[in-house]
Amino acid sequence: MNCNVIAIGYGNELRSDDGIGQRVAKALHLSNVQSFAVHQLTPELAQNLAHADLAIFIDACFASQSSQIQVEPLSPASFKIIAGQMGDPTSLLALTKAIYGYCPRSWWIKVPGVNFELGQSLSSIAETGVAIALQKITQIVDENLSVLL
């Protein structure tokens, strides 16, 4: 039995560290994962989510004191549609559930960044975060495949 896993990395690649999500999605080379690198979450992605068993969202966040990657399982109880907005994964998952009656088990990975100015290069903190995020995604996929199959 195959398991359909998608990873959606989003952010603005022209705003330095804000492009972390897309960078991770483009660097992700797992045979059982379909990867999307997008500027922002849009309603069109709901169709892909409706056919997935597992979804992983990757985005940049402002580095706090700890500069730790945040890995959060997303609970259906937190899904809400905010009129006309797909600003975060919970809104997109709520839309998927509303339209298709289903949404996949999901995780949200937030990678810290420090430079969100115009530019296309990542800070050293972001580069390290990208590498760690790729490891975390591999771990999430491996752990969840055994549950889903």
Domains of the chain plus CATH, in order, are 5-148 (3.40.50.1450)
pTM (two decimals): 0.92
In single-letter form, the type of residue at position 24 comes to: V
Which residues are CB-neighbours of 90 under 8 A, at least 6 positions away? 74, 78, 79, 80
pLDDT digit of tens for each residue in the chain (149 aa)?
467 999 999 999 999 999 999 999 999 999 889 999 999 999 999 999 999 999 999 999 998 756 789 999 997 766 666 555 567 899 999 999 999 999 999 999 999 999 999 999 999 999 999 999 999 999 999 998 777 65
Compute the CA torsion angle 6, 11, 17, 23 (nearest 10 deg).
Answer: 40
